[in-house]
Each structure stands twice: as C-alpha cells, then as structure tokens.
Amino acid sequence: MNKLIKILFFVLVVFGCGRNRETVRIPVAEVNRKILYFDQIPQTLIRDLHGPDSMAMVQNYVNRWAKQELLLMRAEANLSQDARDEIASQIEETRANLLIYHYQRQLMREKMDTVISETAMEEYYANNERSFYLMSNIVKALFIKLPVSTPNINRIRTLARSNRQEDMQQLENLCYNFAEKFDDFHENWIPMDRLLVELPEEIIGSEESFLRRTSFYEQSDSLFIYMIAIKDYRLRLTPAPYEYVKDDIIRIIMNSKRFEFIQSLENGIYNDALKEKHFKIY
C-alpha cells in the first residue's frame, strides 16, 4: 500500500469517527514547501474512496497538481526579469479591470434607471426602422399535425382557415382531443424555417412565392396530415415588424443606458477629483 492510499485510508477512519473536516487539514502532497491538503481535492473525486476508479482519479489529480507546481517553480526560477515585469503588469491591469467592472455593475444595480417605456421603444423603432431589415422570411401561423384517422378533418380545415376568435377556440378544443401537435407559436412572429421543419417534405419552390400565393397548406404521409395556416407574413429584406425586433430594441436601449451611465460615472469621479485636488496634470 503506497503512502497516498495510507493517507486516504486514515482520512476515511477520521471522518468515519465524526471528526469535522474543516477543523482537521490533512496534507496529501508537498512541492517545495507548498502543500496540497485533502480538503482541496474536488469532492466529486472522493465520494467513494473505496472504489478503484475513485482512488485512481485522486492519484491522477495529485499527480497533475504536482506537475503544475513543479512547472511553476521551474518557470519562476528561469523567466527573465523582463518577462516577470510584463506578467506583473498584466496581473495588475487584470486586477484593476475586474475591480472597476464589479464596481460599475454594483452601481448600475443600485442606481441606474432600467425602466424602458413602450413609448421610448416605439420611438426608437420609428427613428431607426431602416436598421431592422429582415434577413429571413417570417410568419404568423398555425401548425397542426393530425393522425390520418382523425374524425371531422374537414371541420378542422375550415376552422384553421378562419380568423375569428370563436373559431380558434373551437379549433383548439378539437386539436386538444385529436391532434398529435397543435402550435400557434403564441401568435408571435417566427422564422419561416421554424415552420417548415415541422413538415415531412420540403415545400417545392421559393419561400417568397409560397407565401405570396398561400394562406393554407396541407401535406400528408401514411400516418399524419400536416396543416399550415399562414395568418400574416413578411419577406426578407423588408422592414421587420416592431413586435419581432422588440427584444433587440430593449437590448439596444439598455446598452445605451449602460454606456451613458458609465460615462457619467467616470466624468463625475474625474470632476470630483479635480475639484478636491486629488488629481492634477503636470
């Protein structure tokens, strides 16, 4: 039995006797006076120290730790002073950036106005509509997948073509009872590709031509009947509907608010430092 196994066996005995792991730090390995303690080994590796796989994983972890520490020791002993200075500069820059980042985030959570009114979003869309051209065709649609044995299919077809709210309610009730799948996509705009992927075969011809000439489409195979009812559509390279890009507008406005908040914060701190003579330029 090697030394590591003896240590781990001792740990099992100690922990089994109810000793608190946090009050007893057991050394497992040492490299140049730096010690790896048992409580630093990931818990996922030591849940079952009786298992051979777990023991091997612990041994591998200890070996990887030792190799890294030995390599670090060699690097520290052999790097040039210029390299050391560059590393120290990078560490300090990273530390400064992290401190500033977390301070800015804290102030944004505490003080930044995060309310975006519907009016502000609509105004942004109206002033920047040309920035929101569609890169793909989008639709508002219904998709229905029915077993071929479904009764009253003609009634379902008729209801699917309708735009009346009471007909939609009847359609939902029928589809709840008979359909393999019914989806109105929460009446939201969706990419045409998301709709077409539901069909067993590709639609022949271009999407644009299909949308221009089709408000209701049906396909079938040996098991199912597939129905698509197109309620509205917009073609690619045309302005996107406001509802479709609303989330993008929220992100854009919020990013602008963050940028303005951070600029104001930086300018305020700068001006305060000048006023209080904490900063001067020689």
Q: What is the DSSP string of 98-123?
A: HHHHHHHHHHHHHH------HHHHHH
Contacts of 41 (CB under 8 A, 6+ apart): 28, 58, 61, 62
Mean pLDDT of the chain: 87
In 131-275, DSSP assigns E strands to 138-147, 181-183, 190-191, 216-220, 224-234
**Mean per-residue pLDDT, 249-265:** 95
Report which of 19, 76, 66 is spatially closest to residue 41, judged by C-alpha positions: 66
The DSSP output letter for 133 is B
Give the C-alpha distances (Å, rounded to integers) separating 182 from 138, 172, 227. Answer: 19, 8, 10
**Which of 42-51, 219-228, 232-241 has the lowest average pLDDT?**
42-51
User: Is the confidence at residue 196, as pLDDT, over 50?
Assistant: yes
Class of domain 134-234: alpha beta
- Euclidean distance between CA atoms 233 and 191, whole angstroms: 10
User: Is the confidence at residue 6, as pLDDT, over 60?
Assistant: no
User: Is the confidence at residue 176, as pLDDT, over 80?
Assistant: yes
Rounded to the nearest 10 degrees, the angle between the axes of helix 52-78 and helix 3-16 is 120
The DSSP output letter for 128 is S
Residue 1: per-residue pLDDT: 42
Question: pLDDT for 94-127, tens place per residue?
Answer: 999 999 999 999 999 999 988 999 999 999 999 9
Residue spans per domain, the chain: 3-78, 118-128+240-275, 134-234
Q: Is the pTM of this model over 0.75?
A: no
